[in-house]
Structure 1
Amino acid sequence: MKHLIQILTVFLLSSAAFSQSGTITGKVVDNTQMPLFGVNISLKNTSKGTQSNENGFFEINNLQSGDYELILSYIGFKTKEIAVTISNNQPLKLDSIILFEGNEILEEVIIEGERRNKFSRKQTAYVSKLSLKDIENSQVYSTITNELLKSQIVTNFDDALKNATGVESLWASTGRGGDGAGYYALRGFSVQPQLVNGLPGLTNGTINPANIERIEVLKGPSATFFGNAVSSYGGLINVVTKKPYAGTGGELSFTSGSYGLNQIVGDFNTALNKNENLYFRFNTAYTTEQSFQDAGFRESFFVAPSLSYKVNNKLSFSFYGEITQATQTNPMFLFLNRSAPTEASNLEELGYNNKLSFTSNDLTLQNPTQNYRIEMDYKLSDSWQSQTLLSKSSTSTNGYYSYLFDFGILGGNTFTRYINKQNANTQTTDIQQNFIGDFKIASMRNRIVVGLDYFNETQVNNSTGYAFYGNITPNGGSNGDNPFTSNIENDTFPLSTSAVDAVLASQGVANVKSTYHIYSLYFSDVLNITDKFSAMLGLRLDHFNNDGNITNITDDFDQTTFSPKFGLVYQPIKDKLSLFGNYQNGFTNVAPQLVGNPADGPQTLQNFDPEQANQLEFGFKTNLFNNRLNATVSYYDIKVKDRVITDPASPFNKIQGGEIVSKGFEIEINANPFQGLNIRAGFSNNDSETTKSDNIQILNRRPLEAGPEILYNFWANYEFQKGALDGFGFGAGFNGASERFAINYLSTGEFILPSYTVVNTSVFYQGNKYSIGLKLNNVFNKEYYKGWTTINPQQPRALLANISYQF
């Protein structure tokens, strides 16, 4: 009996030991021993993964005995790989794991494990050129994650930006040379997307969302860190691309929808050499889409190769490329008269048939674009690292561009068409050298960046002149009477390449090459005076060298500018609630102008200081309920001064006395009340006015580039977590704006585009390795318009279907 009991005891203990599973626990900190919240932790070649909590702790359970490779990745920090062993299913406790700041290469994809608040990712290495949590950053910015874009089945950049609080499209991408990208209103000023991974990245067409990891919209003047070439007084738009990660996998996706939309997207990642930490990722997309109007289309092919090579724990390289070949018809906006009253003051009086495109699919533009970036990161010490960056961009326009303008001469709401043949190219080069430090002085933490920046932009224009090409009326009428000739003509103007080429044969061809250079030095220090109170001080020295038209030395000039930035952050509840205030600066270089009474002799060139924009802003940010509620509420006041105007004392003199004031408040909320439900909401109110000007036409009026006063957006997405409906989900939301001025001058009066609210819905199923979804945009088929001295009709109701497979 005694032997039987011993045998049973041994058997039960062995069974218990066999049934146990191992556990890995640990804590993740930075090099100052501050805990890191939200770090991705995964086991290589498994589906096991988790994230660190607000105290930096993590735990991975249910592990069998064996050897594993633990991968830790965090935005703004270098990925770390640790070899670990589970013996006899015993728990393994790791001491504090230190992550060092660096670039974002090798960010691991977590297959299993919950990441709360999928619509918010508030850690970035780009906004301040330092790795700062949003709650400790004095600047306001909106982040649009790829999870949010996937939940909305987004296929174009304009739809993606509808999720950014306070951003509204002014007009869509025209494809024309120089500035063919889309324009957007932000805090009362127009802006174009010109930044990719924190470096200049140009396009004359639309940006393909297939390679977007997230979009960062920085609010307010941002010249201190980024200069004035890629930012506006309202802020800037930075596109963060997908990057290689440690592992093998990918996704194939196909979307089809109304108006001839078909889009196929591929994403593949692999290790080219695991032993040498060489990883490759390739994204590609092919898209075709027609217009809801009687003509118009866009076709694009896009490839984005990227490569990351970690030589050792100190040195790493990365390469990113984006190559786009696009063909489209340019959208035909109705340009309203800017100097005389338009016969109609609203859409009803205009009698606009928005199904008419006033163009043909024979008249196309080609927009080939290339963006390349190379980055080298080197760890100098535990406190300092070096970051060397090079970016090259090239974007071209070839083909036919036309526009419709109301000269107010022929009457009957007649718009005159002008057309030319575009042949233009823009190239940029940017070189940056950053030294990034993180150290303590007298117990106070300093996070410092010191950088040198060289930027060059060169434009070549060999386009034809613009030729008269008939007239139209908004309801579809047409005639061939040239408003600038005395005779009444009745010519015909077919919308074909042969007919247009015949008319353009008499036009001259431009031969202009222009270039400018910017040399900059910048410095920023985020000083933690206490663990809850920090101050940020930044300064940029910017030297602008304009060569202008290289054959004309009279347009050359130089300017040097200082651009300061200052911010304060106080966290009453550490990492959960912060109060902030900031002062931010932007500037625009001003060319010399001729002054002096010609009757008294030759005029002379007068130099001016750069135009300045200064913002004061304050508000609060939250990160509550274990990252389930992120909110930002802020009030800003931007004053633009030193605009060059005519001297009231002399019509032959110029002074710097023009001013614009733009102020308002913004509210953005990202919430994950419970598992499966994610909410994104935003509201903004902007009050802009030209307060000082020599142009009585715009004085005390809202600038047209300011867009609507009120903007709002909302999107909620819910996925069932268990039961018979596990994997099924649905989404719903809306976007809206108050009415806006398309024209608002003293001489023209007002042309007002009405307010709108557009509702969108979706349903989907997420399987183990695949997903399917349906999206209905503009559910109630709302007819609405956008514009900036223009009338730009928006897409009616559209249905999209998507199927994706992950491997």
Structure 2
Amino acid sequence: MYCNKKLFLLWIGYLLPAVGLAQDKTSRDTVAHRRDLGEVVIAGQQDGYRTPVSSIATRTATSLLETPQSVQVVGQAVIKDRQAATLNELVPLMTGVKANNGMGGFSMRGFSGYNPAEGSFIMFNGVRGNLYLWNQPSLLYNIERVEVLRGPASVLFSEGMPGGLINFVTKKPQATTGLSVHASYGSWDFARFAADATGALSANKKWLYRAIAGYDRSNSFRDQQHTENIFLAPSFTWQPSVKTAVNLELNYARTNAVHSYDRGTFVKKLPDGSYDFNAYPKERTVQSPDDYGKNTNTSATLTLNHTFNDRLSLTVVQRYVRNQFNFADHFVAGAIVNDSINRTYSTWDNDQFNWQTTAYAGYRFHTGRLEHNILTGFDYNRFGWTKNLYRNYSSTRIGIWHPDYRNDVPPVDAPTSSYDDNKQVTNLIGGYVQDQIGLLHNLKVLLSLRYDHYKMVQTPLSDKDDVQGDHAETGAWVPRAGIVYLPLPNLSVYGSFTRSFNPHLSSATASGGPFPPKTATQFEAGAKGDFFRQRLSAMVAVYHIAYRNLLAPDPTTDNPRRQVTVPGTRSQGAEVTLQGNLKNVNIIAGYAYNDHQLTNKSTIGKKGDRYVNAPHHIANVWVKYNFTQKWLKGFGIGAGGRYVSDQVGNMATQDFVLPAYTVLDAALNYDIRRFSFQFNINNITNTRYFNGGISRNTVASLGNPLNARIGVNFLIL
């Protein structure tokens, strides 16, 4: 651990002098914000690594300086420089955000988000709900930028994870004709191809289109693993007038995989009770060569934006998502004994749906000297599944060093330890009102209030279903308040109070419910500034989150599945982010401290226990230098790294602590005319590191070893 810290600090010490020498003394136009018709979110113009405006916290065109919450925007320039193909490859540049595995699991401010039971944390274009399933990393083919809002955000976006949310902003049709293609190749036979075309469909440019297509495939450093993705995203915009725009966006993503889930790499427990994270080869996994996963994600989003006048505007969004998932997979069962382990075998056929209606109106007016920006909105979300056929069997035992997979698949009539065969419908209805009040030219107040009603009904489809029906119903009031003071035009200090809620989705009736929803209450304070003629942005935030009404097992003779609510956990910490451009230098740097622990003794753990996958320290830096000398013009070189301190990998086993790690990356690019060439090398020192635990003390999610990727972009039009 000491060596990792020292190496990381030396790396930063090597990179940062270039930043100090590259102060921007040239004048630049101030970045202006605007409402882009046809887009749900209000977008700020991107300037290299800096985007000064985001709507994710308020759904209005509010500058980050005037937003009383921690927000970070990672734009197209960063995505390109990192050759990021998925969200997992972009996360290392987001302050305090950590991928827990190679799929869709992430941590923010010490809280994990993965499946719906843990809270929604993914949005697209400001509308809650993921377009992908939990076993998939989100693809970036059609993504313009990624926005991170840290802390509870239920007041605008309904139930969700207390740690924050991640919003994807998609590329929209443009009036100017454009066509580009991309190809890249990398380690483990990775290959990726993409095409992006946009332009006008009519001479008056009232009809616009954009068509994005992509294909990628990759093996892995692990045995037998393989993934293949096909992606299509056509979109159309109709602008009958300068006040009105209608946008239709379609998404289709098809995934075929061998080993759909990230089941991790084996960890050996030593006789003294400690763990050896280097004992077994990185190539080994508990899964079989015949395990597979097939995902089909289809969605359609229709958006209407209308501006009545300078004071009144309306946005209406209707989205439909269908996710189909079929898989067969192995997982560990019990402890490793004599370098071998028992396994389970699961099959799953799942068909999910999500209807989302979102509408909100903004109105600006004055009462005396007070300026008001009122936002009132309504959300209706109907989601669930029409098929959920899941079976779990006991399977064969394998040796870790010399696995034998010949008898992996059990007989069709083998007894199961669990059997799901049901359908489920959830209705989530909510409304809210928000007022951004300008008291003085440099003093802003934000007040918001929301009410949500949640109702879930699960129905068995056969007598084999374990639960045989369930239902849950609850409601929640969600307030928010914030204040921002700007002592200087480029400097602000703020404080805020926010809250989130998350209903319990697991057998609320059968286990002793109904239960009140999980709630998180956050107090946050911070400061933000734009420096060097608004080229470099800095942010400091401190926070305290109280998490309540967690479920803990409390079995009785009459009801062995009985659960009770417990007070929960406390997460607190601080974050620092530096992001922007200084002359020839682009930089993103961040540090996050987090302390997340249980506040009371229960069957979950004892008071003071560390929360799972929540390291105390995460630090990241990425610096790119763009050459302007005549003989080097077009070249750029980037380098950076990420340090993550140790973390508990299993809540029930506090001594299962994943070691700290440091990962270093570098990149080189060359732009000439219509071509752009990019070379990235990741994990330069080939560090063996673990992303996070997977609810066991026998396996953990292993990060990628040394790997490289080369790519070329060609702008045809």
Q: Distance in 1 between matches of 2:508 and 2:327?
A: 36
How far does residue 700 in structure 1 lie from its aligned partner after superposition?
A: 1.9
Separation (CA, whole Å) in 2 of partners of 1:530 and 1:136: 13
Look up the match of 1:532.
442
Judge conservation of contact 1:331–1:357 (CA < 8 Å) in 2: no
User: Of residues 588, 600, 613 in structure 1, which corresponds to 2:502?
Assistant: 588
2:430 equivalent to 1:520: yes
The residue matched to 1:323 in structure 2 has which SS?
Answer: strand
**Match runs of 1:55-94 below 5 Å:** 74-78=33-37
Note the alpha carbon deviations across 1:378-409, whole angstroms, 9 max, x for none: 2223211111111111112113122123x13x
> SS at 1:154's partner residue?
coil
Looking at structure 1, the residues matched to 301 and 687 of structure 2 have their Cα atoms a distance apart, in angstroms, of 42
Tell me which moved more, 505-514 or 760-769.
Answer: 505-514
Output aligned runs, 1:142-161, within 5 Å.
142-161=72-91
The match for 1:168 is 98
Say if 1:514 and 1:547, in contact at 8 Å, map to a contact too.
Answer: yes
* Contact 1:593-1:607 within 8 A present in 2 as well: no
Match of 1:221 in 2: 152
State the identity as a percent: 22
Q: Paired residue for 1:571, among 486, 489, 497?
A: 486
1:255 aligns with 2:184: yes
1:590 shift after superposition:
4.1
- Is it true that 1:190 corresponds to 2:98 in the alignment? no
- Partner residue, 1:771: 676
The answer to whether structure 1 residue 367 and structure 2 residue 274 are counterparts is no
The amino acid of 1:589's aligned partner reads P
Question: Partners of 2:354 and 2:141 in 1: how far apart?
Answer: 23
Partner residue in 2 for 1:53: 30
Distance 2:261 2:458 in 1: 30
What's the counterpart of residue 631 of structure 2?
724
Deviations 1:468-497 (A, max 9, x none): 2222344x244xxxxxxxxxxxxx6427xx
One-letter amino acid matched to 1:659 = G
What residue in structure 1 maps to residue 471 of structure 2? 556
| C-alpha RMSD over aligned residues | 3.1
Match 1:400 to one of 328, 333, 340: 328
Aligned equivalent of 1:21? none
**In 2, distance between residues paired with 1:201 and 1:244?**
22
The residue that corresponds to 1:234 in the other structure is 163
> Cα distance, 1:345 vs. partner?
5.0
Can you give the 5+ residue segments of structure 1 that lack an aligned partner in the other structure? 1-49, 57-73, 80-101, 110-114, 174-181, 479-491, 596-602
Deviations 1:678-715 (A, max 9, x none): 0110110100110124226343201114x211111111
What is the alpha-carbon distance in structure 2 between the residues aligned to residue 142 and residue 644 of structure 1?
32
1: CA distance between counterparts of 2:511 and 2:132? 38
Counterparts of 2:711 and 2:249 in 1: how far apart (Å)?
A: 27
TM-score, normalization by structure 2: 0.87
Tell me how many residue pairs correspond in the alignment: 668
Q: In the TM superposition, what are the counterparts of 1:241-280 in structure 2 within 5 Å?
A: 241-280=170-209
The answer (yes or no) to whether the contact 2:483–2:494 under 8 Å persists in 1 is: yes
Tell me the residue number matched to 1:734: 641
SS in 2 for 1:162: helix
User: Is 1:683 aligned to residue 570 of structure 2?
Assistant: no
Change (3 A) 1:235 1:344: farther
Asked whether the 8 Å contact 1:261–1:288 carries over to 2, the reply is yes
Report the 3-state secondary structure (helix = DSSP H, G, I; strand = E; otherwise coil) of the residue aligned with 2:77.
Answer: helix
Aligned-partner Cα distance in 2 for 1:356–1:245: 47
Structure 1-normalised TM-score? 0.77
1: CA distance between counterparts of 2:708 and 2:495?
A: 44
CA distance 1:635–1:719, shift in 2 (3 Å): same
Check whether the contact 2:96–2:592 (CA below 8 A) recurs between aligned residues: yes
Residues 591-622 of structure 1 deviation map (CA, whole Å, 9 limit, x = unaligned): 79999xxxxxxx99664432321000001011
Instruction: Decide which of 49, 57, 79 is 1:127's aligned counterpart.
Output: 57
Q: Whole-Å Cα distance in 1 between the matches of residues 532 and 245 of structure 2?
A: 37
Alignment of 1:597-636 (within 5 A): 607-636=514-543
Distance 2:271 2:352 in 1: 39
> Comparing 206-215 with 456-465, which one deviates more in the overlay?
456-465
State the alpha-carbon separation in 2 of the partners of residues 400 and 793 from structure 1: 21
Q: CA deviation at 1:659?
A: 2.5
Q: Which has the higher contact order (CA 8 A, sep 6+)?
A: 2
Which structure's CA Rg is the greater one? 1
What letter matches 2:242 in structure 1?
A: N
What amino acid is aligned across from residue 252 of structure 2 in structure 1?
Answer: I
For the residue of structure 2 that corresponds to 1:259, the secondary structure is helix
Larger deviation: 340-349 or 548-557? 340-349
- Contact 1:401–1:419 at 8 Å: present in 2 too? yes
User: Is the deviation greater in 578-587 or in 244-253?
Assistant: 244-253
Structure 2 residue corresponding to 1:494, chosen from 399, 406, 414: 406
SS in 1 for 2:353: strand
2:609 to 701, 704, 710: 701
Q: Which whole-Å CA distance do the structure 2 matches of 1:642 and 1:234 have between them?
A: 16
Q: Give the equivalent residue in structure 1 for 2:8.
A: none
Q: Which moved more, 1:321-330 or 1:377-386?
A: 377-386
Tell me how far 1:335 sits from its aligned partner.
Answer: 8.7
